């Protein structure tokens, strides 16, 4: 399932790049909707933002589950502790 989300993410980035005429090198944060882009590009950007948010939510749920498991075991790893502190 993660592979399909990654494939969908790559496809949406390619579509956004094609429709906007801009090559995004980092691909970490979707661009903002703009009046300079056509309606199709803005719709693709919105879809990209939605997918990006779903992926981030899935990652957060996994980290939260890991944190709860580590708390039950009595010791929290530094990685999870920093995630928790930065998150909340």
pLDDT tens per residue, range 30-43: 999 999 999 999 99
The CA distance from 38 to 28, in Å, is: 22
Q: 8 burial class (0-12, 13-18, 19+ CB within 10 angstroms)?
A: middle
The CA distance from 87 to 20, in Å, is: 33
Mean pLDDT of 55-68: 82
Mean pLDDT of 82-86: 79
**pLDDT value at residue 2:** 55
Inter-residue contact 20 to 31 (CB < 8 Å): yes
Q: Provide the CA 64 distance to its chain's centre, in angstroms.
A: 16
SS3 35: coil
For the cut 70, the answer to whether the pLDDT of residue 1 exceeds it is: no
């Amino acid at each position: 399932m993660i592979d399909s989300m990654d494939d969908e993410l790559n496809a949406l980035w390619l579509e956004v790049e094609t429709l906007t005429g801009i090559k995004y090198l980092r691909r970490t944060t979707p661009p903002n909707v703009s009046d300079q882009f056509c309606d199709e590009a803005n719709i693709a950007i919105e879809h990209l933002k939605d997918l990006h948010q779903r992926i981030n939510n899935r990652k957060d749920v996994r980290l939260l589950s890991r944190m709860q498991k580590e708390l039950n075991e009595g010791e929290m790893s530094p990685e999870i502790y920093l995630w928790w502190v930065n998150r909340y």
